[in-house]
Structure 1
Amino acid sequence: MSERSPAPGGLALLQSLVNTLDLDGGADRLDTPEGRAEFGIDAAGLPAARALRESLRAALLAHAGRPPHRAVAPLGELLAGAPLLVAVDARDGSAALAPADAGPLLCRVAAAVAEALVAGTWTRLKACEAADCHWAYYDRSPAGRGRWCTMRVCGARAKMRRYRARAG
């Protein structure tokens, strides 16, 4: 599905993590050493990374006004284990939240969520409402009411189903 573009800033990490699992095809990039290396995790960290991914997906579904597709650990509970520090730039006095330890995936995700909250972009990262997709996408629509990762595929399928239901 091609019109998907990366989310801005740290949200790109979250988008990429959620999109490691293709629900339609069943392929999971975290099953490969290359996929795990992309997020700095090893085989031992795989269960925690998958739990984090599904908690993120549930939050992104909530951003789109949809319930999660299954019960998962609340994202806030997972992120509570990732301490953040206030980093102040000595040159211009600007401040930002930064992970206390920039290595672990959980800390990087927590920092990305904090950055997005400050920037006002957190709720624009959503999961596609198509049940066989739930792909993470950044909603660039003016009103912030996007429902599908791509209109050409998921949106077109949903509209065609509704049309057929009315016509049939």
Structure 2
Amino acid sequence: MNTLDIETGADTLCADGGPRAFLRDHGLPELALDDDELTGLQQLREALRAAFLAHTEGSPLPTPAARTLNRLLAEAPLVLAVAEDGHPALRPADGLRGTAHLTAHIAAAMATAVADGTWTRLKACEAHDCRWAFYDRSPAARGRWCTMAVCGSRAKMRTYRAKRV
């Protein structure tokens, strides 16, 4: 999610070695990605951002984002496997490559987040020039900004100034 800086337009997925660095930094297997798959990763990122923003706003996921997310997830099947310790876990189905393989890893994490009740705490910053993904640790799960020190303060200052005019 946080591979695009909305304010500057810098997309680390498009930088030389960007996808490789992202995968390495997150402990994921290296994937060969062509231009179409890079587009798929960007679509996945933006559909997840829309889902997280819906969590922030308490609104339904927009239909285009839901369609994109459903299409990408359908192309990334999971299987239930039992680890050596006997615990079951979701993992990407054999034979997946590129974007589908990464999407399957994300789908497994999504399923875990739904199961443990943390899915709706995954949010996108409400600031239009940010939209950074964050985990809402607030007691009532009503967080709206990635950080109160920056985005929250800016929003509150804009509201304050608007009332004074």
> Structures share a fold, TM > 0.5?
yes
Q: Secondary structure at the match of 2:48?
A: helix
**Does the 8 Å CA contact 2:43/2:68 hold for their aligned counterparts?**
no
TM-score in terms of structure 1 length: 0.79
- Quote the residue 1:9 is aligned against: none
- Which gives a bigger RCO, structure 1 or 2 (Cα 8 Å, sep 6+)? 1
1:157 pairs, out of 149, 154, 159, with 154
CA distance 1:161–1:70, change in 2 (3 Å): farther
Structure 2 gaps of 5+ residues are 24-30
CA distance 1:83–1:71, change in 2 (3 Å): closer
**Does the 8 Å CA contact 1:124/1:144 hold for their aligned counterparts?**
yes
Q: What is the aligned residue count?
A: 150
Matches within 5 A, 1:1-168: 18-37=1-20, 38-39=22-23, 40-44=31-35, 45-65=37-57, 71-72=64-65, 73-89=67-83, 91=85, 93-101=86-94, 104-168=101-165
TM-score in terms of structure 2 length: 0.81
Structure 1 gaps of 5+ residues are 1-17
* Percentage of matched positions with identical amino acids: 53
CA distance 1:69–1:86, change in 2 (3 Å): closer
